[in-house]
Amino acid sequence: MTSSSSSSSPSRKALSKIACNRLQKELAEWQLGPPGGFKHKVSDNLQRWVIEVAGAAGTLYAGETYQLQVDFPEHYPMEAPQVIFLHPAPMHPHIYSNGHICLDILYDSWSPAMTVSSVCISILSMLSSSPAKQRPADNDRYVKNCRNGRSPKETRWWFHDDKV
């Protein structure tokens, strides 16, 4: 799932006016009607959202609740947000124990047309389609190489498995 990590440091700059406007619009839409199974934890920080995820009924994750942390970059939506699971991360073949998620739309396949809602729905779909609760085969090596708060956006991901 992973290759190597680059050494660039993620910048945590203030949101651009475009990003602020877009996020305020998405937040307003979310408050009117969030996607099923998700709940935004209210805070005054527009740049970091914490979202509660409820496992879908009839799946391995039914009755379980997890939290996603979504950090928006300065140039959102032209640049993808960083999305990770907070501890404890669900056991899944594409979710590392440090919360990093191997999902192409969070990296190379990101499109500015995507929203927080569409990302959440994709993550829930990924969870729901899993036939087994297990960590990625390279979990220990990857997590060891991600010490000191390295962003998953610094990883060059290999997307080779679209079954789960």
Number of domains in the chain: 1
Tell me how far apart the alpha carbons of residues 117 and 94 are, in angstroms, rounded to a whole number: 20
Tell me how far apart the alpha carbons of residues 109 and 99 are, in angstroms, rounded to a whole number: 20
Task: Tell whether 117 is covered by a domain.
Answer: yes
Give the catalytic positions in this structure: 102
Task: Tell whether 88 is covered by a domain.
Answer: yes
CA 149, 89, 29, 32 dihedral sign is: negative
Whether 158 shows a pLDDT value over 80: the answer reads: no
pTM score:
0.84
> What DSSP line would sit under 52-81, residue for residue?
EEEPPTTSTTTT-EEEEEEE--TTTTTSPP
Q: Quote the percentage of the chain above a pLDDT of 90.
A: 70
Q: Residues 6 or more apart from 3 whose CB is under 8 A from it?
A: 155, 156, 157, 158
Task: Tell whether 1 is covered by a domain.
Answer: no
Task: Tell whether 3 is covered by a domain.
Answer: no
* DSSP H or E segment with residue 69: strand 65-71
Domain that holds residue 45: 17-159
Q: Quote the percentage of the chain above a pLDDT of 70.
A: 82
CATH number of the domain that residue 118 is part of: 3.10.110.10
Task: Tell whether 87 is covered by a domain.
Answer: yes
Q: Which 8-state DSSP code applies to residue 105?
A: G
Task: Tell whether 112 is covered by a domain.
Answer: yes
Task: Tell whether 12 is covered by a domain.
Answer: no
7-54 pLDDT per residue, tens: 333 446 899 999 999 999 999 999 999 999 999 988 889 999 999 999
58-84 pLDDT per residue, tens: 999 999 999 999 999 999 999 999 999
